[in-house]
Chain A
């Protein structure tokens, strides 16, 4: 119980993932949905780093930090996705004067 193992980190990431799913489903503000996606990506990152620490590969070069490399790519993709999503929301707001996702039901603004 008091020895922190991989299970603690993985269960914590499940809790964060569930919070992300719940945010994704309950928010009507488009930026709220984006925040939910960030939570889910962070849950994935915790998993990668925890497995990297406790279930590392062999001794050959590079294999000790594979999980950390994947987490770096997750962070890069999250930043790129946030930039694109906010540009889309800005366009949406300029067209409809609102960022309520319930009103985003036609392709041509």
Chain B
């Protein structure tokens, strides 16, 4: 399905709304299922669905490289890490924590308030932009990303590299078995 999307990202034509609403529905339903689910394993599975849907949206937005990165790093890496975390931190993977009803209500009210204000602000903001950028026709995407990572964004790129090294050493140090 993703390959089909990538091939058609130049001109999706009449299927574009169908694809968008399908992916949007999948994303919204799985994101809110994460909220409503009490079981940590189910939450991880719904997160996987949501991440896959976001990858599909990136394909629709003509960002093929980013969609591949999303699927490989997020769905393939971060999610596996989370599932390992679940397995290592509970004797019973179906362990549930009870949340009080009023806490749920307060959180839901806060989320809906934020949602309402943001959508209100967005509706009242002209967001015309300059129309969709023609993908592929004007530039080679991966080539452009590589070039700007090593020129305009060289400093953040190197900082990210150092950050990953620090995180790797720090995580290995913190998660090691302690001497009794």
Pull 23 A–B residue pairs with CB atoms less than 8 Å apart, ordered by A: A4-B17, A7-B122, A11-B119, A12-B28, A15-B115, A17-B114, A18-B115, A19-B31, A28-B97, A31-B40, A35-B47, A38-B74, A39-B50, A49-B57, A49-B63, A51-B129, A64-B138, A76-B164, A80-B167, A83-B167, A88-B174, A91-B175, A100-B97
Q: A46-B57, A62-B152, A79-B77 are in contact. Are A86 and B35 (CB under 8 A)?
A: no
A104 within 8 A of B: no
Chain A interface residues (CB < 8 Å from chain B): 2-12, 14-23, 25-32, 34-36, 38-39, 42, 45-46, 49-56, 61-62, 64-66, 68-69, 71-73, 75-80, 82-84, 86-91, 93-94, 99-100
Task: With A23-B35, A38-B82, A84-B171 given, name 13 new contacts (CB 8 A).
Answer: A12-B28, A19-B32, A26-B104, A38-B78, A42-B74, A49-B57, A49-B58, A52-B61, A54-B132, A56-B133, A61-B147, A68-B145, A93-B89
Q: How far is the CB of B133 from chain A (nearest CB, A)?
A: 5
Q: How far is the CB of B26 from chain A (nearest CB, A)?
A: 11
A51 contact set on B, CB distance < 8 A:
129
User: How far in angstroms is the closest Cβ of chain A from B95?
Assistant: 8
In the complex, chain A residues whose CB is within 8 Å of the CB of B144? 61-62, 64-65
Q: Does B34 lie at the interface of the complex (its beta carbon under 8 Å from any beta carbon of A)?
A: yes
Q: How many residues of B contact A (CB 8 A)?
A: 85
Residue B7 interfacial (CB < 8 Å): no
Across-interface contacts of B153 in A (CB, < 8 A): 69
Contact B133 A35 (CB under 8 A): no
Binding site for A on B (CB under 8 A): 16-17, 20, 24, 27-28, 31-32, 34-35, 40, 43-44, 47, 50-51, 54, 57-58, 60-63, 65-66, 69-70, 73-74, 77-78, 81-82, 84-86, 88-90, 95, 97-99, 103-104, 106-108, 110-112, 114-115, 118-119, 122, 127, 129-133, 138-139, 141, 144-145, 147-149, 151-153, 156, 160, 163-164, 167-168, 170-172, 174-175, 178
